[in-house]
Structure formats: structure tokens, C-alpha cells
Amino acid sequence: MRLIKFLAGFLISLTIQASSDFTQPDYQPPVIQQLSATTLREFEALEADQGVAVDKRYFYAVDNSVIAKYERNSGKFIERWIGPKHGLIRHMNSCLAMQRKLWCANSNYSLTPMASSVEIFNTTPLEHDSSHSLGLMDAGSLVWFDKVNSGFIVGFAHYSKKGGEPYKSSEYSSVLLLDKQWRRSGGWAFPKSILERMKPYAASGGALGPKGLLYVMGHDLPEMYVLAKPTMGPVLLHIATIKLQAEGQAFSFDPRNPQQIWVVDRHAKKVRVIQLPPPPHIPKHAAAFR
């Protein structure tokens, strides 16, 4: 009997020891693929400052409270919408050409507290159509958005200098999912590898591109970051960086060719068409957004 009790106790101790003895590996983030893009064409555009939108016939250069329409084949100027400086539409960060309209992300930058709105323009003729105010948002200033499923994937910015809140640095910038009524339904934080490159600003442009991945650009650096959705956790996965001839700001994918983007050079006042490299490999624990 004593031998049986001894053996039982010994086996229990071995089981406890085995269950408590394990090795936990350190997390290894995806290897960031380094890629390069090629410039195909460029056009003069005095309004090429905040970003550019494009549809199948025209491109639209955006500068705070000004939008200019140009023929996409020739670069010929067509018309211009001009709002008052520091007026009701103060700082249009980007526009998305969709449903024969321009859907634009507007904020009160560089004022605080941060307030934002979605401004919608008819494209023919180019004139303001309607507005949807988001008001004050803890997420920050509305910077860009794109369609995803039945709602939107949206970039919000915080700033570590002019235009920022004293209690939130640029590290609080994020990407949210909003439904078609612009109500929050999800979201992610940016990885530190990108935040370090974009500070003291945030992602000035963003859109869903090839393979359903998220492509973003910062405020000044000539590079684009490719992000994947994590299969677990709240932080986006940085899977590639693309070198290109554009100093940040908002951009648009070409509806005729999904491997091409339209970008601005705000210092040279030019709009460029750029051919992206083939989309990067999607690593383990990463997924497309659509």
C-alpha cells in the first residue's frame, strides 16, 4: 500500500512539473520587404499640395480648400472649385473619386480640439454637393478613407507638434473601420516601425490596393508602407516599404490600372503617375482587408 501511494505521488509530481515546464518563444514580426516603384508620367498642377484623386477621365488636385480638375490624358486644366481660406472647409486632407463624386476628408487642422467632416462634391460641374459632419472625435483628425465591404476603412491622425492635442502624440494615430453611417465598428493601431517614420505627423494618405492590402504614405518621406490585417491582436502588420518619387501626402489608385497610383509632389507642384511593384507576399498571421 505504501509503495502504491509513493508511486501515485511521484507520478502526480511529474505531471505538475511537466505542465509547468515550457519555453515561450519571443515574437518575431514579419520581415519588411524592401521594394521600388517607377515613375511613368507627371503633370503640372498648382493645387498639388494635399493630395490627388482620379477617375477614368480626370484627375483632381487637392489643396486645403481648393480642388482643380484636369484631363488625365493630356493634363489640360478644366475647372476649379475654390473655398474661402480658413473657411467652413478648412483643411481637405484627401479625396476619393467614387460614384461620379469626390468624397473628401476635411478637418479643422491646425485648430484644436480636433473636428472633422466628410465633404462631397459633384464632379460635373465641380461644385460642393453635401456634407456629413463627424464633429469632435477622440480618434483625432480625419485624414483619408476608402470603401471596404459595406463601410469604410479610415485613417485618423494625431500630431506631436502644430495641430496636436497636448495629451496625445502622433503615436495615437490609427486606422478605424466605420459602417456606412460612419459609426465605428473596429480598428487597429499602427506598428512602431511606421510610426517612427511618420512622426511628428501621421499617415497623410491611405487606400486599399492589390491583394486587398492597405497602402499608406506619411507626410514627407518618399516611401509607401504596405500593411496587412493581423489575424489576432490590435496592431497592423508592416509587410513592405516601397521607395517612390513622392514626398508623402494623399494618393489614389488608378481605376484603369490597379498597379498604378497617382501622387503629388507638393514642392514641385506636380502630379505623378507611378507604377507599383508586384504586391508583396502575405506572411503568416497576416490577412487581406478584402
In a domain, 216, yes or no: yes
* Residue 17: inside a domain: no
Grid coordinates of 11: 507520478
Residue 247 included in any domain: yes
This prediction's pTM:
0.92
- Please check the confidence at residue 9 and state whether its pLDDT lies above 80: no
- What would the grid cell of residue 185 be? 465598428
**Residue 3 counted as domain residue:** no
How confident is the model over 207-248, as pLDDT tens digits? 999 999 999 999 999 999 999 999 999 999 999 999 999 989
In a domain, 8, yes or no: no
pLDDT given for residue 277 in this prediction: 98
Taken in order 198, 256, 265, 121, the sign of the CA dihedral is negative
Q: Considering its fold, how many domains does the chain have in total? A: 1
Domain assignment present for 279 = yes
User: What φ, ψ does residue 201 adopt, rounded to 5°?
Assistant: -105, -155
pLDDT tens digits along 80-136: 999 999 999 999 999 999 999 999 999 999 999 999 999 999 999 999 999 999 999
Residue 25 lies in a domain: no
Helix/strand/coil (H, E, C) string of 170-217? HHHCEEEEECCCCCEEEEEECCHHHHHHHCCCCCCEEEECHHHCEEEE
- Residue 179, pLDDT above cutoff 80: yes
Instruction: Return the bridge partners of 225, or none.
Output: 216, 241
Confirm whether 81 is domain-assigned: yes
Provide the pLDDT for residue 272: 99
Query: Does 5 have pLDDT greater than 70?
Result: no
Q: Please state, in angstroms and rounded to a whole number, the distance separating the CA atoms of residues 37 and 25.
A: 36
What pLDDT was estimated at residue 200? 96
pLDDT of res. 21:
81
56: Cβ–Cβ under 8 A, 6 or more apart, which residues? 72, 255, 256
By the 8 A CB rule, do 274 and 246 touch?
A: yes
pLDDT band at 268 (very low <50, low <70, confident <90, very high): very high
Q: Is the pLDDT of residue 10 over 80?
A: no
Query: In the predicted model, what is the mean pLDDT of the chain?
Result: 94
Tell me how far apart the alpha carbons of residues 124 and 160 are, in angstroms, rounded to a whole number: 39
Domain range holding 40? 31-287
Give the chain's length.
290
pLDDT in tens, 42-57: 999 999 999 999 999 9
Residue 15 has pLDDT above 80, yes or no: no
Say if residues 198 and 170 touch (Cβ distance below 8 Å). Answer: yes
Give the span between the Cα atoms of 242 and 237, in whole angstroms: 15
Q: Mean pLDDT across the stretch 49-74?
A: 98
Can you give the pLDDT at residue 216? 99
pLDDT at 18 exceeding the cut of 80: no
Nearest CA-CA partner of 190 in 207, 179, 203, 204:
203
Domain CATH number, residue 171: 2.120.10.30
Considering only residues 5 and 151, tell me which one the structure prediction assigns the higher pLDDT: 151
pLDDT of residue 264: 98
Q: Which pLDDT score is estimated for 64?
A: 97
